[in-house]
Every structure is written in structure tokens, then in C-alpha cells.
């Protein structure tokens, strides 16, 4: 070691001089990342996108700039997925349920009453089962980074309080564009209408549909209480969101950039789940304040619903999903607290 170097180290100057060298040695280019999402900027989804943007900026010295586009301004979930595949858009977050046109297996999460609580969902989604499904997106031109929480879904409608399954009879109920949802709600006696989320508020307002189902956070942030008088806490499906990148774009990133992106995504997952869970309790109270009539589905009624949708599980299994469903149920059993 030269005397000069010794001196530098001794005086602590070394850190000051060597640190910027190390940072610039990282291969990061200035990039704009167009990140689309369906909910509003003030929703739990919007807050998490903002957090993600800040994390990326922090970790890349301001070079990776994420620009969020809320309210489906870049298109609905399905349109954005295709823009990612084609390379016209870099990133998005949306429901796993709308991915079924690209990877059918994502429909397995939509079978009702699989998860009992958020902890089970986290363990399975972040564990080998969820990660294997994510990996299956690669050959379709997408990279799945992490799952965020959309949440347990509940029913709302403009017609009547739903305290038993029969109350759903004849209700035109908007569902996501996904065969498992259509099948499930038709079995419950509703009239399931698949529709993009971006068209939902207007459809409720004009009476094209009578009801919909979503987590309470979304029911609040999308102002569905303005056009829906009744809500039933049914928690019929735990719905994940998934953060996606265009594979074409992702493959062009340097290893350093990919590392930053992946680490920021993992950080955003922790933020988003915590934030959404806190918001769930608050949302429920606010929806009451807004005047929604809210009831909780009884355990007995949930049991009847479970019984009623058994054929939906059989149908899913018969149509090629048997092994996947078995795997998922086994994973849930592993993480379930006795």
C-alpha cells in the first residue's frame, strides 16, 4: 500500500473518494418506466406505485424514473398485459384473475374460499407455488416481479341486502374477465357479467349491472358507495395483484438494473400489504359513514356457498386444472395453522 493510500484511509477520505467510483461502476442508464394501473392515484394501489417509484429513484441515484399512470389511463388490465408483451409499455400492476387469457393456470387463485387469511396467502404466493406460477409467465413475454394484495373480495349491489345466497338471484353482477368468476356467480344464482374494471363505475351508475365484488379498499377508493347501497362482507375470494414487466424490456436491462428493480419490487410488496391491511379497517368504517348498509355473511351461509360451488372445483379440475388445484390445496394445508 502506498503512503498516499495509507494516509487516505487514515483520514477517512478514502470512503468519500472511493464511494462515488463504486456507484458509477454500477451499470445504470437513465430510463423512464411507464407503469400502468387501474385504480386511482389515491387508492392503496396508487400509494404503492408511488412508493415503488421512490424506492427505484433512491436505489438508482435517480436514474430509474417510474412514471405511474392510474385510472387505467394506459388501458385496462388485459390491454396493458398485451402492451407489455409487445414492448410498448414497461410495467403494470393488475389482478392475477385477468391474466387467464395468457396463462390459464392463474385462474386457480379465483376458486372461492381457498385461503382463510392473509398470512396463508402471503406464504403460498411468496413460496414455491406462487413463484412457479410467476415463472410460467416468462415464455409468454412477461416477467412477474411480486404479488401485491388486492384483498378478500366482498359483494355490493344496488338492489337489496344479501344475507343468504338466494338474495343474489337475478342480480346482474359484474365480474372480472375470467371463467372461474363467471361460473361461480352463475352457480350462486346471480347473472354474471364480465367487464373490465375501467368500465365498472359507469356500468353501475347507468344500471347496466346491479352489483359487483371487490375488496373494501377498492369499494371506497373507486367511490362505489355512491352507486351501491348494500355491501355484504363475504370474503369469497382472496384476490392477488401482480406486478409485471415487459420481458422484452426487462431482458434489455443490465444486471445491476434488474437487481435494483427486483429489490425495489420486494420492498414495495411489504409496503403495499401493510398499507392495504391498515386501509381495510379504515375503509369499512368510512363506507358505513357514507351510508352503505353493511352486513356480514354468516358462517352457516358461507358453508352453504362452499357446498354450492363444489361442482365449480370439479369443473376446474376436469378442465385440466386437477394437478394444479391439488398442489395449491396441499401448499395451503402446509401453511395453515391448526
**Which among 338, 277, 330, 319 is positioned nearest to 132, based on CA atoms?**
330
Among residues 106, 185, 188, 197, the one that binds ligand TK8 under rule CB under 6 A: 197
- How many residues appear in the chain? 338
One residue of 28, 34, 35, 38 binding ligand TK8 per CB under 6 A: 38
CB-nearer residue toward ligand TK8: 154 or 218: 218
β-strand partners of 174: 193
Q: Is 280 in the site for ligand TK8 (CB under 6 A)?
A: no
Q: Classify 223 in phi/psi space as left (phi over 0), alpha (psi -120 to 50) or beta.
A: left
Select the residue interacting with ligand TK8 from 49, 66, 77, 188 (CB under 6 A): 77
Residue 94 is a binding residue for ligand TK8 (CB under 6 A): yes
| Minimal distance, residue 198 CB to ligand TK8, in Å | 7
Which position's Cβ is nearest ligand TK8?
38
Taking the complex as a whole, the smallest distance from the CB of residue 93 to ligand TK8 amounts, in Å, to: 8
**Nearest alpha carbon to residue 128 among 275, 327, 286:** 327
**Residue (of 147, 152, 127) closest to 137 by Cα position:** 147
Can you list the pairs that 117-123 forms with residues at least 24 positions away whose Cβ atoms lie under 8 Å?
118/149, 118/238, 118/273, 118/277, 119/335, 120/332, 120/335, 120/336, 121/149, 121/238, 121/240, 122/273, 123/335
**Is the Cβ–Cβ distance between 286 and 222 less than 8 Å?**
no
Smallest distance, Å, CB 109 to ligand TK8? Answer: 12
Residue labelled with grid coordinates 395483484: 241
- The nearer residue to ligand TK8, 95 or 154, going by C-beta atoms, is 95
Nearer to ligand TK8, 94 or 179 (CB): 94
User: Any contact of residue 276 with ligand TK8 (CB under 6 A)?
Assistant: no
95 interacts with ligand TK8 by CB under 6 A: yes
Near ligand TK8 in 124-183, by CB under 6 A: 150, 176
3-class DSSP string for 260-312:
HHHHHHHHHHHHHHHHHHHHHHHHHHHHHHCCCEEEECCHHHHHHHHHHCHHH
Q: Determine if 214 is a binding residue for ligand TK8 (CB under 6 A).
A: yes
Nearer to ligand TK8, 110 or 257 (CB): 110
Q: How far is the CB of 212 from ligand TK8 (least distance, A)?
A: 7
**Residue 117: CB minimum distance to ligand TK8, A:** 19
- Contact residues toward ligand TK8 (CB under 6 A) are 38-39, 77, 94-95, 150, 176, 197, 214, 218, 239
Amino acid at each position: 500500500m502506498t503512503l498516499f493510500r495509507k494516509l487516505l484511509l487514515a483520514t477517512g477520505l478514502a470512503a468519500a473518494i472511493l464511494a462515488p467510483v463504486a456507484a458509477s461502476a454500477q451499470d445504470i442508464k437513465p430510463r423512464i418506466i411507464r407503469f400502468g394501473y387501474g385504480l386511482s392515484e389515491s387508492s392503496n394501489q396508487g400509494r404503492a406505485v408511488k412508493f415503488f417509484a421512490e424506492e427505484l429513484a433512491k436505489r438508482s441515484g435517480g436514474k430509474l424514473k417510474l412514471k405511474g399512470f392510474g385510472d387505467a389511463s394506459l388501458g385496462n388490465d388485459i390491454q396493458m398485459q398485451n402492451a407489455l408483451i409487445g414492448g410498448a409499455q414497461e410495467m403494470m400492476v393488475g389482478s392475477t384473475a385477468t391474466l387467464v387469457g395468457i396463462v390459464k393456470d392463474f385462474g386457480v387463485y379465483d376458486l372461492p374460499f381457498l385461503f382463510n387469511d392473509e398470512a396463508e396467502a402471503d406464504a403460498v404466493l411468496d413460496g414455491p407455488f406462487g413463484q412457479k406460477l410467476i415463472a410460467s409467465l416468462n415464455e409468454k413475454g412477461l416477467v412477474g416481479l411480486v404479488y401485491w394484495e388486492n384483498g378478500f373480495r366482498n359483494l355490493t349491489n344496488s338492489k337489496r341486502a344479501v344475507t343468504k345466497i338466494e338474495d343474489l338471484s337475478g342480480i346482474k353482477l359484474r365480474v372480472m374477465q375470467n371463467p372461474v368468476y363467471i361460473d361461480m356467480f352463475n352457480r350462486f344464482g346471480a347473472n354474471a357479467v364480465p367487464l373490465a374494471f375501467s368500465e365498472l363505475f359507469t356500468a353501475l351508475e347507468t344500471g347496466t349491472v346491479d352489483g359487483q365484488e371487490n375488496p373494501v379498499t377498492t369499494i371506497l377508493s373507486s367511490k362505489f358507495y355512491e352507486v351501491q347501497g348494500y355491501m355484504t362482507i363475504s370474503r369469497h375470494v382472496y384476490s392477488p395483484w401482480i406486478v409485471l414487466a415487459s420481458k422484452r424490456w426487462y431482458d434489455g436491462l443490465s444486471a445491476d438494473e434488474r437487481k435494483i428493480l427486483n429489490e425495489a419490487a420486494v420492498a414495495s410488496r411489504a409496503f403495499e400489504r401493510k398499507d392495504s391491511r391498515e386501509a381495510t379497517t379504515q375503509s369499512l368504517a368510512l363506507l358505513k359513514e357514507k351510508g352503505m348498509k353493511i352486513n356480514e355473511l354468516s358462517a352457516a351461509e358461507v358453508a352453504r356457498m362452499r357446498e354450492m360451488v363444489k361442482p365449480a372445483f370439479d369443473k376446474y379440475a376436469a378442465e385440466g386444472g386437477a394437478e394444479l388445484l391439488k398442489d395449491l390445496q396441499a401448499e395451503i394445508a402446509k401453511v395453515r395453522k391448526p
